[in-house]
Amino acid sequence: MSRQSRTIKSTKNYRMFKIVDENRPLKLDRHKKLRDSMQKYGFLKSFPVACIKNGTKHVTVKDGQHRIAIAEELGLDVFYYVDDVDFDVAEVNCTAKTWTLQDYCEKYAANGNKHYQKALEFAEQYKLPLSKSLTLLSGKKNVGGISAAFIQAGDFVVRSEPFAHEVAGVYVAMISLSKELRANAFLGALIMAFCVNDFDGNRLVRKASKCRERLVSYSTKEAFLDMIEEVYNFKQRKLQAIKLPALQQVKDATAKKAKA
């Protein structure tokens, strides 16, 4: 690498940068987090714009066009370097590893965020996927109901820790009886069942241990609710409805949310 390509320069001459078609389309409305970051920290010299030569007055931007546009909007200096090699930015960027939910949670946990720390500890305690742990702790009634963008932004909050532990304990006990219950739909159905008045998770586990042949996989939460109700009432004189009140709970919550 030449001396030139190692030199990071700065400028407010935003017109010197030429954007080419091989860059991603400039869509600033999709980069709110980047704008917020640059408002907070400025244009970080450790993340300069990559350019190549383009005559004597301009340089061609290979990577960083959004940072330049936001820098101009905020009146910030642009840090950049000029490389000797004309590279394909799409080819280079495709080698970068996309951050996972685990990466984001570990980042915020390391920064002292107790909510993310609890989520990681919860997932480890019950040996659950992090996505399921986050859903349970957030109080969501649908597995997968918590968006990745919400987690990535650092906005995750633990809202129902006792409930999450209760559901997770029963879920782990149930899948120890039948691996076919690992499906998201089963966990979703179990969450719904726990919202039914007087539902006893320990009773479900006890009954399930006596009729393991009924612990089979289904594709929907409704079908799993049928199974849960059947197992819950196995050899029981006094039957308890689970599916209908569980579905009614969801219906009422949806109607309440629509009115809000």
pLDDT tens, 104-147? 999 899 989 999 999 999 999 999 989 889 989 988 766 556 77
Examine residue 258 and state whether it is found in any structural domain, yes or no. no
Q: Does one domain contain both 62 and 182?
A: no
The answer, yes or no, to whether residue 17 has pLDDT greater than 80, is yes
Count of the separate structural domains present in the chain: 2
Examine residue 52 and state whether it is found in any structural domain, yes or no. yes
Domain boundary (93, 127, 161) is at: 93
Domain boundary (61, 93, 125) is at: 93
pLDDT digits (tens, 9 = 90+) for 40-81: 999 999 889 999 887 778 899 988 899 999 999 999 999 999
- The pLDDT value recorded for residue 4 is 46
The answer, yes or no, to whether residue 5 has pLDDT greater than 70, is no
Q: Does one domain contain both 18 and 144?
A: no
- The pLDDT value recorded for residue 224 is 97
pLDDT digits (tens, 9 = 90+) for 198-251: 999 999 999 999 999 999 999 999 999 999 999 999 999 999 999 999 999 888
Q: Does one domain contain both 167 and 247?
A: yes
Q: Place 182 in a pLDDT band, splitting at 50, 70 and 90.
A: very high
User: What's the whole-number mean pLDDT along residues 172-183?
Assistant: 95
Three-class secondary structure assignment of the chain: CCHHHHCCEEECCHHHEEECCCCCCCCHHHCHHHHHHHHHHCCCCCCCEEEEEECCCEEEEEECHHHHHHHHHHCCCEEEEEECCCCCHHHHHCCCCCCCHHHHHHHHHHCCCHHHHHHHHHHHHHCCCHHHHHHHHHCCCCCCCCCHHHHHCCCCCCCCHHHHHHHHHHHHHHHHHCHHHHCHHHHHHHHHHHCCCCCCHHHHHHHHHHCHHHCCCCCCHHHHHHHHHHHHCCCCCCCCCCHHHHHHHHHHHHHHHHHC
Q: Does one domain contain both 106 and 191?
A: yes
User: What's the whole-number mean pLDDT along residues 166-183?
Assistant: 95
Can you give the residue range of the structural domain that contains 184? 101-252
CA dist 194 and 239 (Å) reads: 16
CATH classification at residue 33: 3.90.1530.10
- The pLDDT value recorded for residue 219 is 93
- The pLDDT value recorded for residue 91 is 65
User: What's the whole-number mean pLDDT along residues 148-157?
Assistant: 85
Q: Does one domain contain both 81 and 151?
A: no
Q: Does one domain contain both 231 and 107?
A: yes
- The pLDDT value recorded for residue 2 is 44
Q: Which of 123, 208, 212, 131 is nearest to 168 (CA)?
A: 123
